[in-house]
Every structure is written in structure tokens, then in C-alpha cells.
């Protein structure tokens, strides 16, 4: 009789999950924290295995069922993300998302579990196979971590954190500066082409409030962290693959624009998802700033996915709080000028508002393209009310930039790639000349323009380039 293999694969699945999160965190995680996470993983897996073993009294089957549970908790969210993003461009299948994908994955897990319990054949070979495969995957991930640690200290040429010119404050009282990002707000041209919608009334309203709206505007990149980094550093950031969380910490932490304004005597109010220039984020977005290894493990697990599904309305509350905060700042007089960076996570998903600002229940099935469009129309109403409020309450005419960071991104194909780089780009520049905002200006030159005209600098404009990237889980594909 063959000796059954040690049931290592349930523990190795857990180890694999921890090492993948450790790799994706891209930070110097303390050894004690790593050890505690691994120990907790081993303990929970052991308790799970023993509980199943007592219930069915079959060691090999208990180990396989424990592996099934651990793998589901650890990796089902990644599979859910890939399936969701694969279906997104397929309008005919746009209804097959959310609960339906989760239901399908749950059904597959149940079928696999039943097959294991009812299996009559010897499962030794399967156990040995899983032992070898999971051990190999853990080893590969550890090697990736070591390679990244070795590369972490090497700063690529062309870093986005460069030298900045000292700002000369305008004569008299300096203007407040509002930088309002509308995440995933596409261009008027894309709305016309892909949604058959004329957004001219909204642009005209901005122009009636003395905004300059850039025609056929584009972002520099089609992902938030790179697009906003281009604006706040006034430079093209280095394209470092698989290290975007480290990139966010370092680049936004030393971003040239808020640092220069702080040095010139401005107060910096950060209402964004990033930690910027010494100011903590206003809200957390774990994909960019998970904090600790334990938080990332929770976020990337099935627990995190279910929590997000049950609390999707929380992002709606965050957006409303940002709007209220900006209105409050506009209504409050300050002793020092202020730079306000407000990053609204809309019309980006989750799509929780209709065009009138009514909450959409989570059980309502909507085509994503339609849901995005409805939320965009609500954003139009928000900005229509917010901009005059800022202008009306200012004792000194403020500088206001209302800008998208990328487009919708989920149309698919070459047209979708093209759309992903189109944005809203609008400027309110008091006492400006019509030629200040030139055709084709992109976010990388936004603050070069503002600093040159209001703060006495002499920055050269960089070439306005746009580049579409594909972001994979844990890194970038260029």
C-alpha cells in the first residue's frame, strides 16, 4: 500500500496568496509583519483542515477540500476581476456581471467539492500533483520578490520628481487654486461618437462661467496614477512595470506642484485617494494604497470582494463628502491661499447615481455603458452647481481646473483604446488671454501654464503625448 503524501497543498495555497500579496505590495514589509501573516495563514488553514477531517474522516479528501476553500478565498476575486474585465467590452453580455459571475464561481466550487467527496478513486496522485504545483508557484513568486527587491533601489532615468522653480506670488492677494479631477470623464467628442450624445450644453455652461474648454482633449495616460502624476509633477513619469504602488508612494509624496505651492506659502488641502506632499489621502483606494500586508490580504481575498459588493454605496458617500468639502472651503475665508486637490471617483464605477442624483439600488441590472453615462450626467449637474459656488464666494478670483484623468476605457478594440485617452479639460483662469490655453494641451502642461502665467516661472512646455497602457493585477504591461 502506497504511503499517502503529506497534505502540504492547503498550506502552500495559503503561502502562495501571502507571497503574491507581498510581491504586489512593493514595499519594505517588516519581517515580523510577514511572519505574523504567514503564521495566521498556517493556523487558519490547519483549523480548516482539521474541521473538515473530523467531519468526513478522510485525510486526503479533507486536504483537497481545504485546498479548494483556501484557493477560493484567496484567488476567486482575481478570477472574478478577469472575467468581469473580459466581459466588459461585450455589450451583449454586459448583464452577465456581478452576482451572476459570483454565482457561477460559487457553483463551480460546489461541484468540485461534491466531486471530491463522492470520489471513489485513489486521490494520491492528485494530492502529489497539487503539492508539486503549489510549491513551484510559491518558489517562482519568492524569486520575483527577490528580483524586485534588487531592482527597488534603482531609480530609472527621467524620474518624474525633478527640480522646480521657486514661485513668485502675484502682487496683492494670491488666488486659491482648485484642481478638480473627475475620474474617467471622457471627452465631448467621444460622447458624441460612442454614446450619440451632444455634451455641448455642459461645455457652453462652463464657457458662460468664463472657462476655456479644450476641444478634443486627451490625457497623457489612460490610468489614474500616471495621468495625475503627469499633472502634479509637470513631467512624464518613468514607466516602471509591476511597481505602481511604490511609484504612487514616492511620486505623489514628492510631487512638484503641491510642494512648490507649499513653499510659496499655500495651504494644501488633499481631497484625493493618494497621499500627496505630506498630506494623507481623504479616502482609501486599496489598489493604490493598501497600507499594510494584512490590509492587502484582506482586500484581495474573497472577504474583501464581498465587502466591496456589500458596501459599494460607500464610494457614493465619499464623493458627496468631497463635494461638500469643496463647497465648505469655498465658503470659508482663509488667512493663506489654498491649493485644493479634489478627486471625485465618478463617473468612474461604482455606478450608484442616475442622471438626477438618485441612488441606484444594487439589485438593478444595467448595461455598464449606460450606467456610466447616467452617472456622467449627474457629474455634469454637480459641476454646474459647484463651479459658480467657488467663483461666487471667492474674494480673489480663483484658478479652477476641471479635468478628467482618462476615459471610460471599456469599449474594446482600437476605438476603445482611442477613447480611453480622451478627457474633459477645462480651465478658469482669471484675467487671462484667449491664447493661454492652446489647442491640444494635456495634463502634463497644466501647471506649467499656470505657474508661468501667475507665478513668474519660465517652464518650457513639454510635447503633448498620449499613451495607452494595459494594467495587469500587480503591475503594468507597456
Using the predicted structure, report yes or no on whether residue 350 has a pLDDT greater than 60. yes
* pLDDT of 168: 77
Average of per-residue pLDDT values in the chain? 86
Q: What is the pLDDT of residue 474?
A: 41
Task: Reply yes or no on whether the pLDDT at 475 is more than 50.
Answer: no
pLDDT value, residue 323: 97
Radius of gyration of the chain (CA): 25
Pick from 422, 430, 427: nearest CA to 438: 427
Of residues 286 and 207, the one with the higher pLDDT is: 207
Contact 465, 220 (CB under 8 A): yes
Count of residues for the chain?
478
Q: Which carries the bigger pLDDT value, residue 167 or residue 137?
A: 137
Question: Is-contact 466 223, C-beta < 8 A?
Answer: no
What average pLDDT does the segment 366-375 reach?
91
Q: What is the pTM of this model?
A: 0.80
Assess contact for 180 and 426: CB atoms under 8 A: no
Sheet containing 212-213, strands listed edge to edge, beginning at the edge strand earlier in sequence: 212-213, 425-428, 399-404, 177-182, 338-344, 267-271
Q: Which residues 6+ apart lie within 8 Å of 39 measured at CB?
A: none
The mean pLDDT of 378-406, rounded to a whole number, is 96
Can you tell me the distance from the alpha carbon of 425 to that of 212, in angstroms, rounded to the nearest whole number? Answer: 8
Pick from 180, 198, 340: nearest CA to 269: 340
Q: Please name the helix (run of DSSP H) or strand (run of DSSP E) that holds residue 430, with its range, or none.
A: none
State the pLDDT confidence band at 163, using cuts at 50, 70 and 90.
low
Question: Degrees (nearest 5) of the Cα angle 374, 377, 382?
Answer: 130
- Which pLDDT tens digit goes with each residue over 171-187? 567 999 999 999 999 99
* Predicted pLDDT of residue 310: 62
Dihedral (CA of 10, 308, 345, 395) sign: negative
* Backbone phi and psi for residue 175, each to the nearest 5 degrees, phi listed first: -80, 145
Can you give the pLDDT at residue 426? 98
What 3-state DSSP class applies to 241?
coil
**Alpha-carbon torsion angle 352, 223, 88, 201, nearest 10:** 60
Please name the residues in contact with 458: beta carbons below 8 A apart, sequence gap of 6 or more.
165, 452
- Cβ(330)–Cβ(393) under 8 Å? yes
- What is the reported pLDDT for 155? 45
Q: What are phi and psi of 362, to 5 degrees?
A: -65, -20
Which of 53-62, 140-149, 243-252, 348-357 reaches the highest mean pLDDT?
348-357
- Dihedral sign for Cα 144, 146, 152, 156, please: negative
Condensed to tens digits (0 to 9), the pLDDT of residues 225-282 reads: 999 999 999 999 877 555 666 778 788 999 999 999 999 999 999 999 999 999 999 9
Find all residues with CB under 8 Å of 104, minimum gap 6, and list them: none
Is the pLDDT score of 401 beyond 90? yes
Asked whether the bond before 347 is cis by omega within 30 degrees of 0, the reply is yes
Give the SS3 label for residue 212.
Answer: strand
Phi, psi of 426 (to 5 degrees): -130, 140
Phi (first) and psi of residue 72, to 5 degrees: -65, -50
Backbone angles phi, psi at 18, to 5 degrees: -65, -45
**Residues 55-87: pLDDT tens digits?**
988 888 899 999 999 999 998 888 877 777 666
8 A C-beta contact, residue 459 and residue 451: yes
> pLDDT value at position 312?
55
Percentages helix, strand, coil for the chain (3-state, rounded to 5) are 50, 10, 40
Q: Which residue has the cell 504612487?
A: 248
For residue 159, what pLDDT band results from cuts at 50, 70 and 90?
A: very low
Pairing of strands 470-472, 475-477: antiparallel
Residue 471, pLDDT > 70, answer no
pLDDT value, residue 440:
94
Q: How far apart are CA 451 and CA 445, in angstroms?
A: 10
Top mean pLDDT of 112-126, 277-291, 358-372 is at 112-126
pLDDT above 70: percentage of residues in the chain:
85
Amino acid at each position: 500500500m502506497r504511503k499517502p503524501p503529506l497534505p502540504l497543498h492547503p498550506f502552500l495555497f495559503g503561502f502562495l496568496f501571502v507571497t503574491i500579496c507581498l510581491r504586489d505590495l512593493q514595499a519594505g514589509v517588516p519581517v515580523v509583519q510577514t511572519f505574523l501573516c504567514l503564521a495566521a495563514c498556517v493556523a487558519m488553514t490547519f483549523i480548516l483542515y482539521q474541521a473538515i477531517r473530523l467531519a468526513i474522516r478522510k485525510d486526503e479528501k479533507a486536504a483537497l477540500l481545504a485546498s479548494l476553500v483556501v484557493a477560493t478565498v484567496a484567488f476567486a476575486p482575481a478570477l472574478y476581476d478577469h472575467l468581469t474585465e473580459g466581459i466588459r467590452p461585450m455589450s451583449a453580455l454586459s448583464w452577465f456581471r456581478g452576482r451572476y459571475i459570483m454565482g457561477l464561481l460559487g457553483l463551480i466550487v460546489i461541484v468540485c467539492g461534491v466531486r471530491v467527496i463522492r470520489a471513489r478513486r485513489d486521490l494520491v496522485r492528485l494530492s502529489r500533483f497539487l503539492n508539486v504545483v503549489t510549491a513551484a508557484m510559491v518558489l517562482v513568486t519568492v524569486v520575483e520578490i527577490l528580483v524586485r527587491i534588487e531592482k527597488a533601489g534603482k531609480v530609472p532615468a527621467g524620474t518624474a520628481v525633478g527640480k522646480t522653480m521657486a514661485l513668485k506670488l502675484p502682487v496683492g492677494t494670491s488666488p486659491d487654486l482648485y484642481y478638480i479631477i473627475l475620474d474617467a470623464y471622457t471627452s465631448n467628442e467621444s460622447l458624441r461618437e460612442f454614446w450619440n450624445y451632444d455634451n455641448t450644453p455642459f461645455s457652453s455652461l462652463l464657457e458662460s462661467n468664463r472657462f476655456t474648454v479644450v476641444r478634443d482633449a486627451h490625457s497623457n495616460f489612460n490610468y489614474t496614477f500616471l495621468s495625475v502624476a503627469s499633472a502634479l509633477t509637470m513631467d512624464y513619469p518613468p514607466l516602471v512595470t509591476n511597481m505602481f504602488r511604490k511609484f504612487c508612494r514616492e511620486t505623489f509624496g514628492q510631487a512638484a506642484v503641491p510642494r512648490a505651492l507649499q513653499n510659496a506659502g499655500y495651504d494644501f488641502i488633499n481631497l484625493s485617494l493618494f497621499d500627496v506632499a505630506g498630506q494623507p489621502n481623504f479616502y482609501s483606494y486599496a489598489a493604490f494604497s493598501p497600507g499594510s500586508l494584512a490590509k492587502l490580504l484582506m482586500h484581495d481575498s474573497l472577504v474583501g470582494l464581498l465587502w466591496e459588493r456589500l458596501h459599494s454605496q460607500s464610494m457614493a458617500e465619499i464623493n458627496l463628502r468631497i463635494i461638500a468639502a469643496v463647497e465648505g472651503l469655498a465658503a470659508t475665508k482663509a488667512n493663506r491661499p489654498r491649493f485644493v486637490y479634489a478627486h471625485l471617483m465618478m463617473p468612474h464605477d461604482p455606478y450608484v447615481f442616475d442622471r438626477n442624483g438618485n441612488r441606484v439600488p444594487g439589485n438593478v441590472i444595467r448595461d455598464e455603458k449606460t450606467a456610466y453615462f447616467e452617472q456622467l450626467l449627474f457629474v455634469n449637474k454637480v459641476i454646474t452647481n459647484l463651479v459658480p459656488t467657488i467663483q461666487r464666494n471667492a474674494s480673489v478670483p480663483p484658478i479652477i481646473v476641471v479635468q478628467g484623468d482618462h476615459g471610460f476605457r471599456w469599449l474594446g478594440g482600437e476605438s476603445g483604446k482611442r477613447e480611453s485617452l480622451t478627457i474633459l479639460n477645462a480651465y478658469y483662469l482669471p484675467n487671462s488671454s484667449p491664447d493661454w490655453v492652446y489647442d491640444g494641451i494635456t495634463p502634463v502642461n497644466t501647471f506649467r501654464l499656470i505657474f508661468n502665467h501667475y507665478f513668474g516661472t519660465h517652464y518650457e512646455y513639454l510635447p503633448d503625448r498620449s499613451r495607452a497602457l494595459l494594467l495587469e493585477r500587480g503591475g503594468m504591461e507597456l
